Amino acid sequence: MKVLITGGAGFIGSHLVRRMVKNYPDYEIVNLDKLTYAGNLKNLVDVEGAENYRFIKGDIEDHSFVSSLFEQEAFDACIHLAAESHVDRSITNPDAFLRTNILGTFHLLDAAVKHCDISSFLFYHVSTDEVYGSLGDEGLFKETTSYDPQSPYSASKAASDHFVRAYGNTFKLRYKISNCSNNYGPNQFPEKLIPLCINNILEGRPLPVYGKGENIRDWLYVEDHAEAIDLIFHSGEMNETFNIGGKNEWTNIDLVRLLCDEVDVALSNEIGNSQQLITFVEDRKGHDMRYAIDPSKIEAHLNWEPKQTFETGLRQTVQWYLSNKQWISDVISGDYRAYYQEHYK
């Protein structure tokens, strides 16, 4: 089987590529990635020389490139993760989100129906729970929850989910979609809350908590997400959607406090009490209040549950960042500093 994984140099994609290359030696895994600021080949050193793995640098925004790639390669399946993924950037620069997330997804779908064997090809779209909008104190996102995206990022992911289903209905493209909660773990770009705070603690900088820190997210360790994608890809019912989540809700302020304690323990308090660095800053525009997933479908249908608790996952994450300071310093040069300066003033 020849499987195209898009966005495989990013955070979740690199964990998935490593898993698929190791677990399925008979598959040919092709990783297509533009290597934006969020893509990093250093995430893939483990699989670089593997016989069943190939990397292609390319942009899914480029229709003719995507079309000729599909024509040449005759893929059996595509697991699509390539995306602009950061909500704050979607507020300041939404056009990149429309181009990559909507147009890029359309280019892949179009190439698949034109150049692949439609009777057997599988298109798997990796999506987010943010398409469902924002919850109040009660309730959980189910697969049947109506879409109600609130940010340019979630609107672009919702649109791409709709396109996938529309291609399923119109062109009989076989598809699967999963909508996952917030991921954390090694290799996450330090613009997202957890690695941003770890890096800021190491640099002795303020830990910016938006608003009052009362917004709630449901956190899942990245390897548990990669395992769920693997399971759905191989065993999930065709043309179905699965919600993936950790049943692990935290307010941002409680999470940042916990993270401070975890980093302090790991550093043996060499640089003091990190909680002193917590700083409440201006809220994100249109900040979704709460996300929480009901994962009962994937539990019942595929017998999936997360392997990591938040305690073990967070500990491994902190340890990874402390042991990979070179990785951090490589990714936070240049563009990141400009972004940070502009966003956090």
Chain positions contacting ligand TYD, by CB under 6 A: 87, 182, 192-193, 196, 208-210, 215, 217, 252, 284
Q: Which of 3, 17, 122, 126 binds ligand NAD (CB under 6 A)?
A: 126
- Catalytic residue ranges: 129-130, 153
Q: How far is CA 84 from the centre of its chain?
A: 9
CA distance 209 to 203: 17
Rule CB under 6 A: which of 170-189 touch ligand NAD?
A: 180, 182-183, 189
7: partner contacted, choices ligand NAD, ligand TYD, none (Cβ within 5-8 A by kind):
ligand NAD
Q: How far is the CB of 45 from ligand TYD (least distance, A)?
A: 25
Q: Is 38 in the site for ligand NAD (CB under 6 A)?
A: yes
Question: Of ligand NAD, ligand TYD, none, which one does residue 126 interact with (CB within 5 to 8 Å by kind)?
Answer: ligand NAD
The answer to whether residue 10 forms part of the interface with ligand NAD (CB under 6 A) is yes
Q: Which does 245 bind (CB under 5 to 8 A by kind): ligand TYD, ligand NAD, none?
A: none
Nearest approach in angstroms of CB 85 to ligand NAD is 4
Encode 322-336: b = buried (16+ Cβ within 10 Å), e = exposed: eeeeebbeebbeeeb
Given 20, 30, 77, 104, the residue binding ligand NAD (CB under 6 A): 104
* Exposure letters 80-115 (e unless 16+ CB within 10 A, then b): bbbbbbbbbbbbeebebbbebbbbbbbbbbbbbbeb
Contacts 24+ apart (CB under 8 A), 59-66: 59/34, 59/104, 60/6, 60/32, 60/34, 60/100, 60/104, 60/105, 60/107, 60/108, 61/34, 61/99, 61/100, 61/103, 61/104, 61/107, 62/107, 63/107, 63/110, 66/107, 66/108, 66/110, 66/111
Size of interface with ligand NAD, in residues (CB under 6 A): 31
C-beta atoms surrounding 319 within 10 Å: 13
36 touches ligand NAD by CB under 6 A:
yes
Among 19, 28, 35, 251, indicate the residue that binds ligand NAD (CB under 6 A): 35
Residues contributing to the site for ligand NAD (CB under 6 A): 6-7, 9-13, 33-36, 38-39, 59-61, 81-85, 100, 104, 126-128, 157, 180, 182-183, 189
